[in-house]
Amino acid sequence: MKIVFSTKNVYRTSFLDTCRYAFDYGFHGFEIYDAIKERSSHHDSILRRDRIADAKRKLVNRNLSVSALRMPDSIDNENTTSELILKYVDMAATSGVSNVIVRIDNKISFDVLDEKLSVAIKKAENADVNILFETVGALANTENVIDIINHFSSAVIGASWNVRGTYFDAGETSEATIKTLGAYIKYVRLGDMKDGKTVLIGEGELDVAKLIGALSSLNYEGYICAAWNEEINDADIVLTHFANYISQLNREKKSFDKAYYNRDKTGTFVWKKYDVIEATFSDVLDKMAETYPDQYAFKYPTLDYTRTYEQFRRDVDECAAALISLGVKAGDHVAVWATNVPQWFITFWATTKIGAVLVTVNTAYKIHEIEYLLKQSDTHTLVMIEYCKDINYKEIIEELCPELENLEPGKPLYSKNLPFLRNVVTVDFSMKGCLTWEQMLSRSSLVPREEVKGVHRLLSLMMFVICSTHQVQQDFLRALCLHTEIL
């Protein structure tokens, strides 16, 4: 489950500032309230067509997402026209937002619903956008939500469960709501109340832990949005409390095999200083991600790339899967011709994950030097930036591999000058016949993460055998031969 907040009471100067705000407070994203206002007030909004790519990068770099677009007026309001609802669906589809949330304050006929929603639903079906009815007002009784879902009979129609609406206004228990809506629950807005007044989460009459447990029984892995308080409008207070409270419910006690303090005892190390450890690079990264998941691993302020150990491991696994999809195997050589950019480090850790060999390239190399290096190292895949100082890498590779001119990106390269080179991946620029870094990462979905983990486990096992006694090595070879005969 991912916690988010609505921008209804969050006033930031830009979309980037909103992203930073969500990241700093430990949220997984945010819901945009009043998308029309958001688009007009923020020059860098994800809802502006010319800023979508840049805005998505700001989200991805912080492991955030926009959870939904929420309409400020109810469907029964005269200001909410069919054209406006269609506009929201179109904005969601264009910007890659999965959900549009609507509500009905006063009961209206199905004829009015058809008039206002039919066109938008068709658009949503084609664009893979959900239209979610919030359980407030006329829909606080969830049976009414089911009537609407049955009426439209569309896979994109679902429910946004507003807990205050069902639990406090309609008097439904969490179990009753889940029994009625079940898998139609695509979104949750969580808020508490006491004596008829809104209060901070956990300070009211709602058994939050029980509700979270009930959602877990549904295998719900969607968004939980913080509901705003009428009594307390200070975003810092409400959101800080919400994030801390939910994290306490989900927090698992981490067990440390042993922690070694630094000299001032202000921090710990996983391993004793200066000790030689029997672990692969991937083992080290996994251990750090498990022990210190929320600690910063990388921080590139100028390149807008900040990652915790857990987030960085995710990036590494994604890159490793993408390299496998390009045909990179254990023992193959992957060259990186780049300056100090995040992609350099991601590629390094990804190659160690799958047993490939990283070939580092001097950024000052000219054409004959890079040709010699790539030939002698039998480089299979090259990751490169466009230029460094007065050396244009793009022009050099185009001269060495004229075959790129007519090559379809993603297809293996067969070059006369560099016979072992099969792929060229470009960072922050595009070139004929080459995959961009983003296009390469998109191929990671072609390879199951279990395959990446399987390669890593095999490498760890091989390292253990190599470092073991002669008897252990013999036993391993016998077991391997027996397994081969069985196959």
pLDDT in tens, 293-348: 888 888 887 888 888 898 899 999 999 999 999 999 989 999 999 999 999 999 99
CA dihedral 218, 7, 24, 67 (to 10 degrees): 40
pLDDT band of residue 164 (cuts 50, 70, 90) is very high
Top-tier CATH class for 2-250: alpha beta
Question: How large is the average pLDDT for residues 416-420?
Answer: 94
Tell me, what's the pLDDT at 262? 76
pLDDT of 112-146, one tens digit each? 999 999 999 999 999 999 999 999 999 999 999 99
Q: Which amino acid is at 72?
A: P
Q: Please compute, for residue 402, the number of CA atoms within 13 A of its CA located in the half-sphere on the CB side.
A: 2
The one-character DSSP state at 293 is T
pLDDT value, residue 400 = 96
Q: Which amino acid is at 24?
A: D
Main-chain phi, psi angles of 372, to 5 degrees: -65, -45
Contacts for 50-57: CB closer than 8 Å, 24+ residues apart: 51/15, 52/94, 52/95, 52/96, 55/15, 55/95, 56/96, 57/304
Q: What pLDDT shows up at residue 460?
A: 54
Q: What is the pLDDT of residues 39-56, one digit of tens each?
A: 999 999 999 999 999 999
Percent of the chain at pLDDT exceeding 90: 62
Average pLDDT over all residues of the chain: 87
Three-state SS for 49?
helix
pLDDT value, residue 253: 39
Closest to 120 in 3D by CA, of 100, 141, 95: 100
Q: What is the spatial distance between Cα 366 and Cα 90, in angstroms, rounded to a whole number?
A: 49
Residue 416 has pLDDT above 50, yes or no: yes
pLDDT for 255 equals 44
In whole angstroms, give the CA distance from residue 417 to residue 285.
37
Phi-psi region of 392 (alpha: psi -120 to 50; beta: other; left: phi over 0): beta
**pLDDT attached to residue 448:** 79
Q: Nearest to residue 395, comparing CAs of 367, 434, 426?
A: 367
pLDDT at 475: 58
Q: Does the domain spanning 281-446 belong to CATH 1.10.3720.10?
A: no
- The pLDDT tens digits of the residues spanning 456-474 come to 555 554 554 445 455 545 5
DSSP 8-state code for residue 36:
H
- Neighbour count for residue 263 (Cβ, 10 Å): 7
Tell me the pLDDT band of 450, cut-offs 50, 70 and 90: confident
Q: What is the pLDDT of residue 458?
A: 58
Closest CA to 73 of 85, 64, 65, 61: 85
Evaluate if residue 162 carries a pLDDT over 90. Answer: yes
H helices present in 205-307, as ranges? 208-217, 235-250, 281-291
Is the pLDDT at 268 greater than 70, yes or no? yes
Cα torsion angle, 342, 343, 344, 350, sign: positive
Question: Stretch 270-276: mean pLDDT, rounded?
Answer: 81
Q: How far apart are CA 444 and CA 346, in angstroms?
A: 14
The residues spanned by each domain of the chain are 2-250, 281-446
